[in-house]
Amino acid sequence: MDKNIFTNKLKNWLNNFLNIKFSETHEVVSVLIPETSLAKMNNDAIKQIANYSTWEFKPDVLGILKNKKNSRLELVLLNRSTSALSLKELGEMNCYAKLTGALLAFVASTNGVSNEVNILLLEDKIRQRVLSYGEGQDIIVVGWDEKNDQISEDSVIPFSKKDFIVN
């Protein structure tokens, strides 16, 4: 699949997902495809978040949510790949998610996770180290089912997030 088409599909998916899952607790401010690094984005919401000027990276899709309880702005990061995901992409997202304290962090691919990494991630300790970026916060890895144009149910890692993502 063309990368830009995939990015747009993921943007639409994320928009729907956030509106369904967070409608009670958050307002979805925007879901967008950044053209520059977050530090340089001309976006009022981003500029209200502390330390944004050090965020010299560009996720493929960005969601901005406003917590209805305390009006705090929170980020959802999503990176995508059209090849099988390696530790590179996961380590990279771990840095971004830690830096921004993201509410959610996704890595998506049309080819899922590479066979090598898939086996590594089945080991609890390794998976926690690779995916965890804060207390109770894990990067969520998803595969994209091109035939049905949706997240593939059997691709979600960690397994504990499967229900949250597909139901």
Partner 1 sequence: MAENNTIIPEEAYLLGLITGRGHFFMDSFSIAIEFSHTNEFIAGIAHCPKCGWLATDNKNGGLKCKNPECGHILDSSVKKTYNQPLSTVESLKNVIIPFLKTGINAEFDITGNKSMTILVIDLKNDKDKFKDITRFFSPDTSFDRFHIPKELETATKEAKIEFVNGLLDTSGFANAGGWLNRDGKNGHGRMRVYYQIVRNWHLPVEIDNFMRSQFNLPIHTIDWGHPNIRDGNLNDFYETNPTSWGREHQIKFFPEYYGDFKFRISSKQSMFDELKAHNLGVKFDNIDDWFPPSKITKGKLKAYHPGENDLRIPESARRHFDAFWQINLAMGCKYLQGLQSKSKNPDLFAITGDIELDEDFSKIQAEFDIIRNELTENATNKKRPEKAPSTKRKTEKEMAEQAMYEPLTVFFTDYLSKKYSEPADAFDTSAGNLNLFLKNRNRELLDVFDYCDKYRIKPDVVGFLEKQKALAFIEAKITPLDLKSLGQLMGYCFVAQPIEAILISTKEPSLSLIKVLKARPDLLQYAEGRMIQLATLQNGKVNFINI
Task: Give the interface with partner 1 as residue ranges (CB under 8 A).
Answer: 39, 51, 54-57, 84, 86-96, 98-99, 111-120, 122-126, 129-130, 143, 154-157, 159, 162
Q: Are 128 and 99 in contact (CB under 8 A)?
A: no
Give least dist CB 63 to partner 1, A. 20
* 3-state SS string for 92-124: HHHHHHHHHCCCEEEEEECCCECHHHHHHHCCH
Of the pair 47, 68, the CB lying nearest partner 1 is at 47
Of the pair 22, 96, the CB lying nearest partner 1 is at 96
Of the pair 18, 93, the CB lying nearest partner 1 is at 93
Kindly list the strands in the beta sheet with 26-32, ordered across the sheet, starting from the edge strand earlier in the chain.
Answer: 26-32, 61-67, 73-81, 104-109, 140-145, 150-151
Give least dist CB 75 to partner 1, A. 15
